[in-house]
C-alpha cells in the first residue's frame, strides 16, 4: 500500500521554495498557508490538508503523486502492538490499524482522483 510521505513533502517544499527564491512569508501569501505552518511542513511537524497540498503543488511545481511511497507493513505501530498482551489482542490491534490506514489512503486517493478529473493544473 502506498502512503503519503511527510519527509518527501517537507524536502520538496523546502528545496523548491528556496530554489524559486520564496521566503516562507511569500510562499504563505501565495498559498494562503500561514508562514509558521510552512515552517512546520518543512520540519515534518504538520501534515497539510489535501487542498493545501494541491496549492503547494501548483505554486511550487511538483506532482502530488511523487509524494507517495510504499509503506512498511511490518513496522507499523510497533510500539502500540508491543503493549498488547495476548496474540489475539496483537492480531486485533494490527487488523484495526490496517483498516484505519486503508480507509485514510482510500479517502486521499479519492480526493486525488477528483482533483485530477477536475482538470485543474
CATH number, position 57:
1.10.260.40
What pTM did the predictor assign? 0.60
Is residue 76 domain-shared with residue 57, that is, in the same domain? no
Q: How many domains does the chain have?
A: 2
The angle, 0 to 180 degrees and rounded to 10, between the axes of the packed helices 24-31 and 50-60 is 110
Beta bridge mates, 4:
68
**Domain range for 105:** 71-121
Say whether both 20 and 53 belong to one domain: yes
Say which residues have a Cβ less than 8 Å from residue 41's Cβ, sequence separation at least 6. 9, 10, 13, 33, 48, 56
Tens-digit pLDDT profile for residues 62-88: 999 999 998 765 544 555 545 545 677
* Residue recorded with cell 520538496: 12
- How far is 86 from 106, CA to CA, in rounded Å? 30
Taking only the tens place, the pLDDT of each residue in 41-68 is 999 998 999 899 999 999 999 999 999 9
Amino acid at each position: 500500500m502506498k502512503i503519503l510521505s511527510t519527509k518527501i513533502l517537507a524536502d520538496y517544499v523546502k528545496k523548491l521554495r528556496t530554489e524559486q527564491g520564496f521566503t516562507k512569508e511569500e510562499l504563505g501569501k501565495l498559498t494562503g498557508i500561514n508562514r509558521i505552518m510552512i515552517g512546520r511542513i518543512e520540519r515534518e511537524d504538520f501534515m497539510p490538508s489535501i487542498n493545501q497540498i494541491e496549492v503547494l503543488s501548483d505554486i511550487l511545481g511538483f506532482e502530488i503523486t511523487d509524494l507517495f511511497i510504499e509503506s512498511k507493513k511490518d513496522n507499523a505501530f510497533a510500539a502500540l502492538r508491543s503493549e498488547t498482551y495476548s496474540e489475539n489482542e496483537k492480531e486485533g490491534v494490527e487488523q484495526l490499524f490496517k483498516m484505519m490506514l486503508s480507509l485514510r489512503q482510500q479517502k486521499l486517493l479519492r480526493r486525488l482522483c477528483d482533483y485530477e478529473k477536475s482538470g485543474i493544473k
